[in-house]
Structure 1
């Protein structure tokens, strides 16, 4: 492997790992909240992940600075943790894991829309607007066909709030551009998220868990604590410093199909043929949206 291809292989490997973790996370969340209140799962997850992250940080001998810029970056990163994840956990009571991943697949489109309308950093062409419309139509078709599934409008609203928090985190962390190592950024954001989660305790104290959950719930809980909170965040913060926001959020385009398959095989989630058609339409719309960017990147390398 020569020095020219090595960085590409490393980036692609980290990107693939992030896609796999995020495709599995919705199912792990659904499993983990089946027997324990979602907010207690979230609080315990972040405190456990913070302890593990601090140990890993010490082993790696990376610093954890607390200067003004670093603290702002930790706060920005926490929007993708306590911000986005809070609403995902609430949505898990209303949606299947596959539909949660499918809705989150819209994040690159929303990121592009924010860049075009609000930040003025990106100009959308006609093909991208058409792709966005097709993707929305496909998602509407999926929901219309899912009347017999666990679909609730509140779940959709919660997922879109989560998605906005996630996208805002990407833009904010990139705008701050603190000189932090990925593990330092992930650990700092976890600590801020843990502190923020304490504000939830007065509202959920009556739901304090009193017994050990099942093995399935424990698997989901451990996966979200280690893989989703630490490994995925490490990959995420490593990537957003090297790729643009829409490219990072593009990872969510690939997760719905994997998540739907996992939900159907491991959690007996029903997927009809019409739903598959709707999902295919969504994916087609997103491909249309990114076609210009992919083509430009391809010709730039030639």
Structure 2
């Protein structure tokens, strides 16, 4: 894979920015969908079913478009690694949520764009970050910390300091796994693969890992079937895991990944907003200030490079 191929990706334009905002809204609404499905399916089993259903959808989509999925293009090793990392992210999130609060998990999980920027800066051509962009990432992360400051200041769910620290650590590990997945996709042969094939690796591997883990934990069962739970699982499988992830990986083939990933700071803000609108949850006044910080940080990261002209006269 040539350096020229990797470096050809460009900064997000208006179309990419609009798509990223839509994706973050979809991912934010997913938090509400997961809560709605928890009454019927245990979280890990829920995540495994979602991946399994989406795997079939991606396979059918690729077949209908004639996209090759099983050709020997040298992506198998990187694809399996990306799939394991994708599954590890969800394992860390779901187990971590049983040890620490959702607010603390949100703060630690959304270290992911920071790790993504660092990993791409080190390992991917055309992804080096300038000082202003690092400042932007720091500002956006500060916004996330401010948004969830109330919950972050409280102890973990079970009141155990050790358990809380373990949950926080799993949040960071989940963020690292999320970031590492993007870095693997961007810096290996997967960067030249189709979005369908890249997504299929992750969904198929994560479906196997998560369903096996659910069986080991005794969670592979259906407790209560309700229309809302079915609709919520369908939303996760079809809209999130199939449609939105396909769009995300398509964007990664055309735009600078580090500048795209910073938009994911919007996801927990959308999650809180949908929680207020759909679940009757509340938020503090500092949430608006936090949203402004996130937007400012995103603007810093995606600000155009100023080129000074030298006057040699």
Q: Give the shorter-chain TM-score range.
A: 0.7 to 0.9
Aligned residue in 2 for 1:27: 32
What is the alpha-carbon distance in structure 1 between the residues aligned to residue 51 and residue 207 of structure 2? 5
Distance 1:89 1:222, change over 3 A: farther
Aligned residue in 2 for 1:191: 204
Q: How many residues were matched structurally?
A: 287
| Among 228, 246, 263, the residue aligned to 2:258 | 246
Residues 208-247 of structure 1 correspond to what in structure 2 (within 5 A)? 208-247=220-259
What is the alpha-carbon distance in structure 1 between the residues aligned to residue 236 and residue 88 of structure 2? 15
Q: CA deviation at 1:265?
A: 1.5
Distance 1:177 1:128, change over 3 A: same
Q: What TM-score results when the alignment is normalised by the length of structure 1? A: 0.77
Distance 1:262 1:67, change over 3 A: same
Residues 79-228 of structure 1 correspond to what in structure 2 (within 5 A)? 79=84, 81-93=86-98, 94-96=100-102, 104-115=109-120, 122-125=128-131, 127-128=132-133, 130-131=135-136, 134-135=139-140, 137-146=142-151, 152=157, 153=164, 155-178=167-190, 179-205=192-218, 207-228=219-240
Q: CA deviation at 1:246?
A: 0.8
Aligned residue in 2 for 1:294: 303
What is the alpha-carbon distance in structure 1 between the residues aligned to residue 216 and residue 62 of structure 2? 32
More displaced, 165-174 or 76-85?
Answer: 76-85
Distance 1:48 1:149, change over 3 A: farther
CA contact (8 A) 1:38 1:90 kept: no
Which secondary structure state, in structure 1, belongs to the residue aligned with residue 75 of structure 2? helix
Q: Gapped runs of 5+ residues in structure 2?
A: 1-11, 158-163, 309-313
What is the alpha-carbon distance in structure 2 between the residues aligned to residue 20 and residue 258 of structure 1? 6
More displaced, 32-41 or 234-243?
Answer: 32-41
Q: CA deviation at 1:262?
A: 0.2
Residues 57-76 of structure 1 correspond to what in structure 2 (within 5 A)? 57-67=62-72, 69-76=74-81
Q: CA deviation at 1:24?
A: 1.7
What is the alpha-carbon distance in structure 1 between the residues aligned to residue 269 and residue 29 of structure 2? 11
More displaced, 187-196 or 218-227?
Answer: 187-196
Distance 1:297 1:208, change over 3 A: farther
Q: Gapped runs of 5+ residues in structure 1?
A: 1-6
CA contact (8 A) 2:140 2:265 kept: no
Q: What TM-score results when the alignment is normalised by the length of structure 2? A: 0.75
Per-residue displacement from partner, 1:63-84 (whole Å, max 9, x unpaired)?
1125362212422442563132
